[in-house]
Structure 1
């Protein structure tokens, strides 16, 4: 369809695609004629057309060979726009054709061969070099000058140059050093050892900012002379991430040769235990050792970082299992239990409900989510919310009368069980005494065991602020209460249960994340033990299993197995 009113449009795709060819009967290559007939003629009001298009084809008929001039001719007598192109015959039949507007505006330039334009590409930061004709040193010097802001470089060429350097370039006036002053990432694909030497040898190339290197281990070992060669050490000195396909644990001499390399203890700890097989990494190593083709296919798909992540995820899972078991044992012998109130003991966030009652619910709920996700200080959030709500003593009484707090399923049974076991229970919350104290009475928790904030009112009942002397009125307040309890009662083992980041960071001896009302992703992912129902904790206390709660009625059993959660991204 025609697009006469189109004013601005951007499409960038660096993957190979064939869908366009299926819709348009394209000639061998996209050229000026094709662009005008199939694109520009449909956009009569188009002011500027900036493009970079690469097409490839197989041309078996030698009489149909095209040159750069042939492609350039198709742009003549068109719009007054500068265009350049390159036509590369990679072999006898495979042809790459690139056309692009000038000045070049894109940050990627791919599959550059020996035949590339002599202009300066100031916008390009990502470059792929590929040819089946050998690269010479002068080519790499030319690339460095043509792409001065280059950051990411990938090299693919298995054909070695026919020449060899017998002397360092520092004394060869005719061979200047290739200076890649901004290059931070270098990837060697299928290359001859000569090209690894070309870049790592400081007498040929300068790489002062290189921090990421992907290379074959045998080639690296050969070029660096078993990690002892002086000429190649300078360009390796800043590398922090070394990607060697098929190799998880590096020998000690690698770390000595790459002094900035991030040493990951996970490798050393996990390299010789069966968890590698469980994570699938052993299978990967076997496949690449047995099947070379599989190795090279996987090398291009699986980055070393993914394998590192797999190891770390496995280690983290193992560590978390230990933490959960430790927390479960602590739960059975704790000196006291501290509960958060909002979204834990009670279903709702009381301040959000009060805000709705005052007609500012949406604004306050957004601030609450940010605070519970750990994205802003508690006092800042509390002040902001209360300034919006402006509760009066009269409106607060009306709210409590019409909207009493709703207890979470299982909390009454759990606290009764803790009382039976003579385990003190505390409520620690950023909420307010006027709302939390009735909850404590309902659960038979002494009011002296409630740590909350206190609203202040003027003589006429208007809002005057909150008591900033309360421990829970600022960030880290729950941690202050935990410390206070330890000091006053000499508690050695305190469990904190809650749904929010402030509960997890209270520095109790054990933390149990609760997701029965709302799941905070930060808590779910980092809590040593995360539960979705208080019946899980009841079961652990009684028979160490939720499935053996025989004393509760059928409704309780149903609730223990059919509780639902709301997933929220904080």
Structure 2
């Protein structure tokens, strides 16, 4: 080793690793672990490490037995993408005893099966961010105990989808299980969507009940709304601090209170009640930079007057930044909602997933003029429940690749 390389390695204190797989999925977990270990051993004075800032599947770092042998006494800030919360517990099991800031994004599962010690305090940690788009039933078993170890935490970000509880997560829960254990906490940003099963006829809290619990909550503006889905026998409560800074907002229902969400790029809509045209208008205004939209609703729309005549006085909805649209779990009315050019004006080069049977009906076997304009803009169409395609299908989707 030359003096120059030795000096360079000892001088590097900030490092960002952005892994590119060119869109091809490969088995990279072992490679990522080896790379992670190599970085920590090569740069002894590293203070800041962002391992995979894009937080996508091929940048995840899965726990490996080799990691337990790594100890870094210099690293102060770590950003990492992990497949499971268990991997986070391993990383906090004495590997980084000087860590002050930790950002964790869970990419796949949030399992609760663990024998690792989740009690030892983490007195040096000042900032912790935990994000996951996946449902987890380990909120009480793992997440709350993990947070209780961070007795000197000053700032906390929690973005979770919680299941497996008998009660919604509300302000009383947050105070009792989290905030009261953090005397130095001064910033708390969160978005927690909790789902419960409606297994009996007990009285369940209303939106007003949930909102009242936040009256004395010392934080930014708190938004909450509650929905009950009789067919699925589930209840859902979404609570979040506003302004909302996450890039994702999932499970939006008709109860959505509105607002402006300039950071959000990916949303999903779900309800057992129909979504009307006015609802989609609110969504387009609340999420002006939305790029990905997933819709799940099997209920037909009630108000369809807007489609009967082009002379109706209503707003044509635009989604100027939309890149990906998924309609395959919807009633045919929502295929109409997005394909009719008198209700929606899609941008160019949108990638769409649709139900072939419903699309065929809505487009009159791919010959209808009112749907032709939006269909001609699509760059990729994936059909579920597809059968043999007619020869003129390609003419109806002239830009689209149709696998």
Tell me the CA shift for residue 193 of structure 1: 1.0
Give the alignment partner of residue 397 of structure 2, picking from 258, 273, 298: 258
| TM-score normalised to structure 1 length | 0.43
Alignment match, 1:545: none
Alignment match, 1:446: none
- The structure 1 segments of at least 4 consecutive aligned residues displaced by more than 6 Å after TM superposition are none
| TM-score normalised to structure 2 length | 0.60
Matches within 5 A, 1:57-136: 57-91=196-230, 93-136=233-276
Alignment match, 2:132: 13
Tell me the CA shift for residue 164 of structure 1: 2.9
- Larger fraction in helix: 1
When residues 4 and 72 of structure 1 are mapped into structure 2, their CA distance, relative to the original with a 3 A threshold, is farther
> What RMSD, in angstroms, separates the aligned Cα atoms of the two structures?
2.4
**Following the alignment from structure 1 to structure 2, what is the Cα–Cα distance between the partners of residues 158 and 137?**
15
Secondary structure of 1:159 counterpart = coil
**Following the alignment from structure 1 to structure 2, what is the Cα–Cα distance between the partners of residues 71 and 167?**
38
Give the alignment partner of residue 47 of structure 1, picking from 177, 186, 209: 186
When residues 63 and 20 of structure 1 are mapped into structure 2, their CA distance, relative to the original with a 3 A threshold, is closer
Q: Deviations along 1:239-272, whole A, 9 cap, x unmatched? A: 1111113549754322111111137xxxxxxxxx
**Following the alignment from structure 2 to structure 1, what is the Cα–Cα distance between the partners of residues 262 and 351?**
22
Q: Deviations along 1:339-372, whole A, 9 cap, x unmatched? A: xxxxxxxxxxxxxxxxxxxxxxxxxxxxxxxxxx
When residues 88 and 215 of structure 1 are mapped into structure 2, their CA distance, relative to the original with a 3 A threshold, is same
**Following the alignment from structure 1 to structure 2, what is the Cα–Cα distance between the partners of residues 166 and 99?**
34
**Following the alignment from structure 1 to structure 2, what is the Cα–Cα distance between the partners of residues 38 and 20?**
11
Matches within 5 A, 1:123-522: 123-165=263-305, 167=307, 170-173=310-313, 175-245=314-384, 247=386, 250-262=389-401
Alignment match, 2:148: none
Unaligned runs of 5+ in 1: 264-307, 309-570
**Following the alignment from structure 1 to structure 2, what is the Cα–Cα distance between the partners of residues 129 and 245?**
19
Tell me the CA shift for residue 32 of structure 1: 0.8
Secondary structure of 2:194 counterpart = strand
Unaligned runs of 5+ in 2: 1-118, 145-163
Alignment match, 1:399: none
Tell me the CA shift for residue 62 of structure 1: 4.8
Q: Deviations along 1:75-104, whole A, 9 cap, x unmatched? A: 222324221111011227410111111101
The count of residues paired between Structure 1 and Structure 2 equals 263
Tell me the CA shift for residue 113 of structure 1: 1.2
Larger Rg: 1
Q: Deviations along 1:162-186, whole A, 9 cap, x unmatched? A: 343375564212x222222211111
Q: Deviations along 1:8-27, whole A, 9 cap, x unmatched? A: 21211111111224456965
Tell me the CA shift for residue 140 of structure 1: 1.3
